[in-house]
Amino acid sequence: MSSFVDYTVNGLVIGNIYALLAVGLALIFGVANLINFAQGSVYTIGAYIGWAAITFLHMPLPLTMAIVFVGSGLIGVLIERIGLRPLQGKARIAPLIATIGLSFVLDQLVQLIFSASPRALPSDLPDIRIDIAGGSIGAMDVLIAGAGLSSAAVLYVFLRFTKLGYAVRATAQDREAARQMGVNVDAVNSAVFAIASALGGLSGLLVGMYYNHIDPAMSFQATLKGVVAQVIGGVGNVPGAIVGSLLLGLVESYGIALLGTSYRNLFAFVLLIGFLLFLPNGLFGGRSVVHSEPLTGSFIAPSREFPVPRWAVIALTLTAFALPLIYNAPYLLQTLTNAWLAAMLALSLTLVSGTTGQMSFGHAGLLAIGGYASALLALNIGWSPALSIPAAGLIAAAIGTALVFPAFRLRGHYIAIATLAIGEIVSLTILNWESLTQGAMGISGIPPLSAFGHEAYSARSVYYVCLVVLAALALLQTRLLSSHLGRTLRAVREDEVAARSFGIQLSHYKSIAFAFGGFGAGVSGGIAAHLYSYLNNQTFDSQLSLLALTMVILGGMGNVLGAILGALVLVGLPEMFRFAAEYRILIYGIVLLLLIRFRPQGLLGAV
């Protein structure tokens, strides 16, 4: 009984923290039709502003909270100015990708300024606990509940009774009409981002004080939790976001009570997938928010493929094959090997997201499935990598497609959220299925690449293995695109309604795209497993998924050569300039932002 009360209090406290995040996301979705992936970054920044105020300036708590509120709010204004305003009228996915780029940049800046190591965030609250019904409530719990409730109340008053609040609600209902009636929509957006970010920053401060722990890596999970809470409550619905957050907090808390801490996130994502599939409008979403626009081909910018002459492709391929013979420098070859592996992933993603238009934010999950499959087949059954890697490709294709299949009827942002969650579920399943995967310990001693008794140890032989596999996959994909499948998949991307009206079964073709893509990604993961000789649940993390997305956008959505070029540039250039790892992510973020703003069709053009 006592524990039940404690778990309930804990669930409600966490729920309040999620609510501060989710309310902001809901407001932003309401006015800008955008899921703000930088929300978690603001949350982290809020925590660090608070930490600096308390540690260096010895501020009292109320003043700290005020500083966090204002500081985070200003960051929000900045996000709107960079990530949203210049992209109006561009493809709907553009601002979303811009916020991903911004989150890369902000998270890495935090890490560069404050270092990656965790910090303690002490609170000077009195250590009083009130006993209630066998459990207890502490001062911190009261503070968080108070912050949640008062924010909700202030927000309600703001939206109901102030002029700007009216403008926000009008913009959310009909952006164009509001503009015509004289509402300054840009100012509304700016205000909404400021409010959302101020609340998000406050949430970060409170959670840091609650656990007495902050670190720069907390950002991504925070965004995800906010999104989950929002989907539960109905995307864009403010009261819904609050209820969804409390529900999520409680489910997580009770889930931990039943199964242990490592299951917390699994609960959250399974709940998310459940809602997306069975109640995509959430608990409070009234009308269907899933609709598509005719004529616009709403997904990618109209563009033409940059014509790369055939002889140039052949010459470059020959150069790649001849390189180790001319210049056998292990470091260069290793870097290029990494680029080829990344290119396999990018090829897979460019088919799924570029050609077929199914935004996949969880593509690293396919690598993980492939990597573990090949490693386990080699270690447990003794298969040669020559056999286990293709098998891993097939397994990744089968499992990946089966996991995404139920989400095929979702569109736009929703398929992106679903794939993100599926990627997390794969990683969390690996973490928790210890009998098979050895959990967080990981699998070590994976045998090196070999075929027919010959082991590939040297940098040169590994390079050739990867290059040959990449070339084969690229040729296959080119052949696929030149067949009837190429135009059919692109028709699915352009307009699902028109495609169906001409007899195209959407799930059939989405399956083909995911299966083909899954094979390539699985092979890449399989090869990587044998190269690294060690895997754990974080080897292929969600950041890799977003990196792959950057490569694909850089090269040009759906463009085979573009995917390879994107991988080469983003893996190769940082190595060439020997940037430290944290600068790399910063660069990826900036590249993403510049691309979306100035060249959304990518270097070689979307196809």
Partner 1 sequence: MAPLLEIRSLSRSFGGVTAVQSLDLHVMPGELVSIIGPNGAGKTTTFNLISGLDRPDAGEIRLGQRALAGLSPEAIAALGVARTFQHGRVFANLSVLDNVLIGAHTRLRAARPGAPLIGPIAELFRALVRPVWVKREAQAHEQEAHEILALFGDRLTPRVNDPAYSLSYANRRRVEIARALALRPKLLLLDEPTAGMNPTETTEMQALVADLKARGVTILLIEHKLEMVMQLSDRIYVLDDGAKIAEGAPAEVRNDPAVIEAYLGHSGVGGAATAAYEAVA
Shortest Cβ 488–partner 1 spacing (Å): 7
Joined together, the tokens standing for residue 314 give 């052949």
Rounded to 5 degrees, what angle do the CA atoms 192, 194, 196 make? 65
What is the C-alpha to C-alpha distance for residues 487 and 558, in angstroms, rounded to an integer? 12
Interface of this chain with partner 1, residues 304 to 343, rule: CB under 8 A = 304
Helix segments in 298-384, DSSP class H: 310-326, 330-349, 364-380
What is the DSSP-derived secondary structure letter of residue 75? H
Interface of this chain with partner 1, residues 513 to 542, rule: CB under 8 A = 515-516
293 or 455: CB nearest partner 1? 293
Applying CB under 8 A, among 344, 491, 549, 591 the residue interacting with partner 1 is 491
Interface with partner 1 by CB under 8 A: which range of 22-30, 295-303, 540-548, 575-583? Answer: 295-303
Taking CB under 8 A as the rule, does residue 497 contact partner 1?
A: yes
What is the C-alpha to C-alpha distance for residues 495 and 404, in angstroms, rounded to an integer? 20
39 or 303: CB nearest partner 1? 303
What is the C-alpha to C-alpha distance for residues 482 and 534, in angstroms, rounded to an integer? 38
Shortest Cβ 468–partner 1 spacing (Å): 18
Helix, strand, or coil (residue 131) = strand
Taking CB under 8 A as the rule, does residue 499 contact partner 1?
A: yes
Query: Do residues 556 and 303 make contact, with C-beta atoms less than 8 angstroms apart?
Result: yes
Interface with partner 1 by CB under 8 A: which range of 201-209, 224-232, 276-284, 489-497? Answer: 489-497
Is the torsion defined by CA of 106, 112, 115, 121 positive or negative?
negative
Give the end-to-end CA distance of the chain in Å, rounded to a whole number. 61
Shortest Cβ 506–partner 1 spacing (Å): 8
CA 171 remoteness from chain centre: 27
Taking CB under 8 A as the rule, does residue 606 contact partner 1?
A: yes
Buried b (16+ CB within 10 A) or exposed e, 180-194: eeebebeebbbbbbb
Taking CB under 8 A as the rule, does residue 511 contact partner 1?
A: yes
What is the C-alpha to C-alpha distance for residues 446 and 378, in angstroms, rounded to an integer? 7
Binding mask 255-294 for partner 1 (x = CB under 8 A): ---------------------------------------x
Is the torsion defined by CA of 125, 127, 128, 129 positive or negative?
positive
The residues, any chain, with a CB within 8 Å of residue 38's CB and separated by 6 or more, are: 79, 83, 99, 100, 102, 103, 106, 223
Interface of this chain with partner 1, residues 203 to 242, rule: CB under 8 A = none
Shortest Cβ 417–partner 1 spacing (Å): 25
DSSP 539-575: TT-HHHHHHHHHHHHHH-TT-HHHHHHHHHHHHHHHH
How many CA atoms does the CB half-sphere of 27 hold within 13 Å? Answer: 32
Interface with partner 1 by CB under 8 A: which range of 42-50, 133-141, 197-205, 473-481? Answer: 473-481
User: How are beta strands 135-138 and 129-132 bridged, if at all?
Assistant: antiparallel
Strands (DSSP E) contained in 115-212 are 129-132, 135-138
20 or 344: CB nearest partner 1? 344
* 131 φ, ψ (degrees, to nearest 5): -85, 130
The residues, any chain, with a CB within 8 Å of residue 416's CB and separated by 6 or more, are: 35, 93, 96, 359, 360, 361
* 450 φ, ψ (degrees, to nearest 5): -160, 155
Binding mask 348-367 for partner 1 (x = CB under 8 A): --------------------
Taking CB under 8 A as the rule, does residue 303 contact partner 1?
A: yes
Applying CB under 8 A, among 175, 363, 490, 530 the residue interacting with partner 1 is 490
Applying CB under 8 A, among 55, 296, 319, 533 the residue interacting with partner 1 is 296
Taking CB under 8 A as the rule, does residue 300 contact partner 1?
A: yes
Q: Which helix (H) or strand (E) holds 135?
A: strand 135-138
225 or 490: CB nearest partner 1? 490
What is the C-alpha to C-alpha distance for residues 36 and 235, in angstroms, rounded to an integer? 12
Shortest Cβ 513–partner 1 spacing (Å): 10
Applying CB under 8 A, among 501, 578, 580, 598 the residue interacting with partner 1 is 501
11 or 354: CB nearest partner 1? 354
Interface with partner 1 by CB under 8 A: which range of 309-317, 327-335, 493-501, 567-575? Answer: 493-501
What is the C-alpha to C-alpha distance for residues 169 and 72, in angstroms, rounded to an integer? 23
The amino acid sitting at 220 is F
What is the C-alpha to C-alpha distance for residues 169 and 159, in angstroms, rounded to an integer? 7
116 or 475: CB nearest partner 1? 475
518 or 574: CB nearest partner 1? 518
Taking CB under 8 A as the rule, does residue 603 contact partner 1?
A: no
Taking CB under 8 A as the rule, does residue 472 contact partner 1?
A: no
Applying CB under 8 A, among 503, 578, 580, 598 the residue interacting with partner 1 is 503
363 or 493: CB nearest partner 1? 493
Applying CB under 8 A, among 33, 338, 429, 494 the residue interacting with partner 1 is 494
For partner 1, how many residues bind (rule: CB under 8 A)?
38
Shortest Cβ 509–partner 1 spacing (Å): 8
Taking CB under 8 A as the rule, does residue 476 contact partner 1?
A: yes
Taking CB under 8 A as the rule, does residue 495 contact partner 1?
A: yes
Taking CB under 8 A as the rule, does residue 500 contact partner 1?
A: yes
Interface with partner 1 by CB under 8 A: which range of 60-68, 246-254, 266-274, 511-519? Answer: 511-519
Applying CB under 8 A, among 62, 127, 180, 295 the residue interacting with partner 1 is 295
Applying CB under 8 A, among 5, 471, 504, 603 the residue interacting with partner 1 is 504
Interface of this chain with partner 1, residues 406 to 425, rule: CB under 8 A = none
Taking CB under 8 A as the rule, does residue 445 contact partner 1?
A: no
Joined together, the tokens standing for residue 452 give 């027919």
Dmax (CA) of the chain: 79
Residue 430: count of CB within 10 angstroms of its CB: 27
Taking CB under 8 A as the rule, does residue 302 contact partner 1?
A: yes
Is the torsion defined by CA of 181, 183, 186, 191 positive or negative?
negative
Shortest Cβ 295–partner 1 spacing (Å): 5
Would you tell me which residues interact with partner 1 (CB under 8 A)?
294-297, 300, 302-304, 476, 479-480, 483-485, 487-488, 490-491, 493-495, 497-505, 508-509, 511-512, 515-516, 606-607
